[in-house]
Structure 1
Amino acid sequence: MTDGHSDNPANAIPAVSSDSSAAPVPADVRPSANHHADPPAHELKEQDSIGRLMPRPTYMEHLADSRDAMFHLNRRDSSELERYFHGPRDMDKHSKWPIFMRMHGSVMPKMILPLLCVAAWSTLITCLSHYFHALGINNILLTVLGFVVGLALSFRSSTAYERWADGRKYWAQLIQTSRNLARTIWVNTGEREGEEGKVDLLRKLTAMNLILAFAVALKHKLRFEPDIAYEDLAGLVGHMDTFARDAHDHERLHPKTKSFWKSTGEYLGVSFAESNPRKMVKRSKKPLGHLPLEILNHLSAYIDSCVKNGTLTSGLHQSQAITMMSTLNEVLTGTERVLDTPLPTAYTIAIAQIAWIYVIVLPFQLHPVLNWVTIPASIVAAYIILGLATIGSEIENPFGQDVNDLPLDTYCRQIALELDIMTSTPAPKVDDFMSRPDNLVLFPLSQSGYPEWKSRSVEDIRAALKAKIVANPAPAPSDASTVVENVSFKASKDSV
């Protein structure tokens, strides 16, 4: 991807469209071409996805680097400390610290200012009560308010976790459906002979890219990132005529640098410093459309073309493909429901007010009993109460950039890797893997391969299958072969 400021007309790649008059794709929507000299021909292996010739030794390294840059663009230049407290959490990392000592995933940074306020307040009440006039109140209020706060926090936590779990279920359904649809396209969709077969293969690869593009586009939509020129998305859908491409604005990809105070305020969870996540959507000067839905339309058109040209003839597979397209649409609708239906504002405000009232009143009730210990006791109680409320607020939107949000980048990377594995070889043919000599059809009882068992009678095979029940479940290889051979010989002798 270019930096969004290139004026080189050579970088403007025409869109692939049936309309010959379609406008060219902006330079920063498509990956830029390589301007370095090509290596000698004997060092070339193949071209990468944007037409650059890669040297043989570095080709796989380039793919790995490109994949890492594609899905970690936003975290590439950040410091280790920022990545530690900024999410979503990296699922591949493992910490050996005890759970209660871990900071990665904790809401402690957002609790610093509230705890300082509680410490100052409890210190003030304690000093006034100790040096001037006792301000203690009856502990019955602690009991009543504690019961109400417990109910409020339980309701807040359960509803927030339910939304978080729903988001994870929808993305699990997306991964499952992507696998099934990709298998239907790659294995069950045929390829014609000659030049038409090449066209079918390229169309299948394009359809596989659209499956990945749907997941990536959904991730960006759920994070209110309306552009199309993101590094993990431009190469997949930059060739299609979509509203998002027409509304492309490189300024959205290069936002203004945040001031120190604003960054610090966001880090500490100050509401006044937090920006509206929908501001890029609201500021768009052109219709943004609905990119995931438009991708589904293009996928549906591909399935329809396969039915028409006879490459997808099975009615069962046609029905499965259409059903899986509907499932992807259900995932899209479900994730939008989770995103756009938070806990009603009245509940959110009331729960926050109840929690803070309890924390503010707490020093008045603790001082008559604990005296100076009221200060640390109030801080500990505030950490527990306000911490649970903060966790509920953080996971209420599971698709954002908080540490405890769902790792959508990891899910998209998983889909991309699985699609690459699937397309790395042609669709398997039964004869190629069934009839191999190393196909041990009766493993572990027999080390004989498929050809040897094929030369025997059906009675021998069934006798051997029966022997798997009565024989040792895990015998040595030589013993297993002896058992099966003896049983097979006895069966054939009895039949004679």
Structure 2
Amino acid sequence: MNDHYGMGISSRSTTSYFTSSTPSMAPDEQHDILEGIFFGPRDIVRHSKWPYFLRLQGSVLPRMIIPLLFVGIWSTTIVCVSKLVYDLGISSVLLTITGFVVGLSLSFRSSTAYERYTEGRKYWSQLLLTSRNTARLIWVHVAERNHDADGKETPEIAKQDLLNKIGAINLLNAFAVALKHRLRFEPSVEYPDLAPLLTGLDTLAGAADQAELHHRKPSPIKAAGQYLGISFAESNPRKLIKRAKHNLGNTPLEILTYLSAYFEAVYQAKMLALPIGQAQCMNNLASLGEVLAGVKRVVNTPLPVAYSISIAQITWAYVITLPFQLVKTLGWVAIPATILAGYIILGLAAIGRELENPFGQDVNDLPLDAYCHELANDIDALISRPPPLKLEDWMRGGGAKVMWPLSGMEYKTWESKSVEEIRDLLKAKAASIDVKRERVMTMKMSEGLTPVVQDPEKSKA
């Protein structure tokens, strides 16, 4: 939820192709150890060997410092008064009754928060899948013309068509990056990972004054308050949008409009002749529009405030009354017992608040930068080679082993066989036990397991 912690922008520069596959951090973030541990989103590529109960990254411990300090002072006061002045202890029956209500409310809060988290992940999976399919349709099925309208051979037209295809595919990257910034309430178009992808596009946000659309660095006191989770130090994450003097529009939606215009030009030029290809492109654009509407629904429909207030009041009332109920049976041990119970109960409530918006900058939020970078790398790999339209180059000329694992002979060898012989071999391939055994052994070897070679004679017996 803490969208105000900074922008965490990662630029996809030329050097990023040859270095890490994960988004790079800003220089000041690389030297800030605490920010690397307690701010995110978490780098999904990194692997930690520490046991979970000893890990700090992803923990809500920083936000629990102030609440636990208050709980410790409160419980110490109650226990000291009960032991030294007047007995304030009450029956533990209330502990049993209210414990059920607290458990029910925390379960409700956790389930609704995790549901929003998984729903956000599903929408981004849909975005990645649709973008990859659309990029493949453009790269393979959109033709590159070699002749002009008069039938004259013109290489320049093919070059323009190729560049247009690359530009349209880059718009898919632009849509993902623009959606990431919109979900984090960052309306500017001058972010390093977005500005190069929007070059030449006329957007409403691009026409606005960009100086007013960037977050200002918070003061040290405010930054410390945000780090500790103090509500009075948190800013409205939508403040840049509220203070804007111009209509900032909807940049991801405007990008989809430019993509739709590209497909219309392709249809008019008859560069995508198959109707099913045209329908698939339109369906993919509709799917991206569905993603845009879905993630905005997740962001703009939080848990009703009445539930949030009630859950907060129930949990705090339970923690505050704990020392009164524990002092009779535990004595001075009621102080650490109350702190421990407070950490468990208030910590679960804090996790629910953190997961309520899965698109922010918390460690446990979805790594949107990594998703955008993954999509960019997949598209770069797709367009790094010409579309494999000539089967001679990779099927016959590549020596495909079409009868593997029944036979390791290449494509050219089987050309000397008749159609009947090939069909008979296919029938034998389906009925062969050795083929199935070979596939099982190959699968085990791919999983790093030691293959078990059985004697065919023993198998028959």
Q: TM-score w.r.t. structure 2 length? A: 0.87
Determine helix, strand or coil for the equivalent of 2:273: coil
| Alignment equivalent of 1:189, drawn from 132, 142, 145 | 142
Paired AA for residue 283 in structure 2: T
**Identical counterparts, % of pairs:** 53
CA offset at residue 261 of structure 1? 1.3
How far does residue 195 in structure 1 lie from its aligned partner after superposition? Answer: 1.7
CA distance in 1: counterparts of 2:232 and 2:111, whole angstroms:
27
Relative contact order higher in (CA < 8 Å, ≥ 6 apart): 2
Task: Extract unaligned runs of 5+ from structure 1.
Answer: 1-30, 32-47, 50-59, 478-496
Matched, 1:209 2:170: yes
Inter-partner Cα distance in structure 2 for 1:424 and 1:163: 37
Q: In 2 relative to 1, CA 92–155 (structure 1 residues): closer, same or farther, beyond 3 Å?
A: same
Question: Distance between the aligned counterparts of 1:61 and 1:227, measured in 2?
Answer: 24
Give deviations 1:449-489, integer Å, cap 9, x for gaps.
01111111122212222232224136789xxxxxxxxxxxx
The aligned counterpart of 2:189 is 228
CA RMSD of aligned residues (A): 2.0
Q: Compared with structure 1, are the counterparts of its residues 62 and 181 closer, same or farther at alpha carbon in structure 2 (3 Å cutoff)?
A: closer
Match for 2:79 among 126, 149, 174? 126
Aligned match of 2:198 in 233, 237, 249? 237
Distance between the aligned counterparts of 1:245 and 1:335, measured in 2?
Answer: 23
C-alpha change, 1:202 and 1:472, in structure 2 (3 Å) is same
Query: Aligned pair 1:166/2:119, yes or no?
Result: yes
Q: Using a 3 Å threshold, how does the CA distance of structure 1 residues 89 and 329 change in structure 2: closer, same or farther?
A: same
Report the counterpart of residue 355 of structure 1 in structure 2.
Answer: 315
Deviations along 1:6-44, one digit per CA (max 9) or x if unpaired, are xxxxxxxxxxxxxxxxxxxxxxxxx9xxxxxxxxxxxxx
Q: 1:326 and 1:349 mapped to 2: Cα distance?
A: 38
- The counterpart of 1:473, out of the listed 420, 432, 435, is 435
Counting only pairs closer than 5 Å after superposition, residues 309-320 of structure 1 correspond to structure 2 as 309-320=269-280
Shift of 1:138: 1.2
Cα separation, 1, equivalents of 2:375 and 2:438: 40
The residue type equivalent to 2:69 in the other structure is L
- Deviation, structure 1 residue 62: 6.7
Counterpart of 1:335 in structure 2: which amino acid?
A: V
Residues 238, 245 of structure 1: 8 Å contact kept: no
Change (3 A) 1:465 1:191: same
Q: Deviations over 1:126-169 (max 9, x none)?
A: 00000011111111111111011111111111111111111000
Is the Cα–Cα contact under 8 Å of residues 88 and 407 in structure 1 kept in the other structure? yes
Q: Residues of 2 paired with 1:92 and 1:74: CA distance? A: 20
The equivalent of 2:414 in structure 1 is: 453
Contact 1:359 1:378 in 2 (8 A): yes
2:348 equivalent to 1:388: yes
Q: Does 1:64 align with 2:18?
A: yes
| Structure 1 segment 310-389 matched on structure 2, within 5 A | 310-389=270-349
Distance 1:144 1:471, change over 3 A: closer
- For residues 257-282 of structure 1, the C-alpha deviation after alignment (integer angstroms, 9 at most, x for no partner) is 32221111111100011111111111
The equivalent residue for 1:42 is: none
CA shift, 1:388, in A, is: 0.6
Counterpart for residue 431 of structure 1: 392
* Aligned residue among 23, 42, 53 for 1:89: 42
Rounded to whole Å, the distance in 1 between the matches of 2:47 and 2:238 is: 33
- 1:395–1:405 contact (8 Å) kept in structure 2: yes
Give the secondary structure class of the aligned counterpart of 1:130.
helix
Contact 1:214 1:295 survives alignment (8 Å): yes
Q: Secondary structure at the match of 1:272?
A: helix
Ranges in structure 2 where 5+ consecutive residues have no aligned partner: 1-10, 147-154, 440-461
User: Any conservation in 2 of the 1:73–1:231 contact (CA below 8 Å)?
Assistant: no
1:406 matched to 2:369: no
Residues 98, 318 of structure 2: 8 Å contact kept: yes
Q: How does 1:29-108 map to 2 (within 5 A)?
A: 61=15, 63-64=17-18, 72-73=25-26, 76-108=29-61
Counterpart Cα distance in 2 of 1:190 and 1:214: 24
Does the aligned pair in 2 maintain the 1:71–1:232 contact within 8 Å? no
Distance in 2 between residues matched to 1:122 and 1:327, nearest whole Å: 54
Asked if structure 2 preserves the Cα contact closer than 8 Å seen for 1:436 and 1:449, the reply is: no
Letter of the aligned partner of 2:18 in structure 1?
A
- Is residue 119–residue 378 contact of structure 1 (8 Å, CA) maintained in 2? yes
1:419 aligns with 2:373: no
Which amino acid is the alignment partner of residue 195 of structure 1? E
Task: Give the alignment's TM-score, normalised by structure 1.
Answer: 0.81
Shift, 1:83, TM fit? 1.1
Q: Distance in 1 between matches of 2:236 and 2:92?
A: 42
Which of 248, 252, 261 is 1:288 aligned to? 248
Q: Which amino acid in structure 2 is aligned with residue 402 of structure 1?
A: D
Distance in 2 (alpha carbons) for counterparts of 1:250 and 1:204: 33
Contact (CA 8 Å) 1:89, 1:403: kept in 2 or not? yes
Quick one: distance in 2 between partners of 1:330 and 1:71?
30
Higher deviation after alignment, 446-455 or 338-347? 446-455
Q: Using the TM superposition, give the Cα deviation of residue 65 of structure 1 relative to its aligned residue in structure 2, in angstroms.
A: 6.0
**Which amino acid letter does the alignment assign opposite residue 384 of structure 2?**
S
Count of residues paired in the alignment: 419
Match of 1:157 in 2: 110
The amino acid across from 2:281 in the alignment is A
Spell out, residue by residue over 1:207-247, the C-alpha distance to the aligned partner (whole angstroms, 9 max, x if none).
01100000000000000000000000000003111101101
Q: Is the 8 A contact 2:143 2:272 kept in 1?
A: yes
**Could you tell me whether the CA contact under 8 Å between 2:401 and 2:410 is conserved in 1?**
yes
Matched with 2:5 is: none
Give the drift of 1:438.
2.4
1:77-121 alpha-carbon deviations (Å, 9 max, x no partner): 551321111010110111101111111111111111111111111
Q: Structure 1 residue aligned with 2:263, among 303, 318, 324?
A: 303
How far apart in 2 are the matches of 1:431 and 1:135? 89
The answer on whether the counterparts of 1:228 and 1:248 sit within 8 Å (CA) in structure 2 is no
Instruction: Give the partner amino acid of 1:470.
Output: S
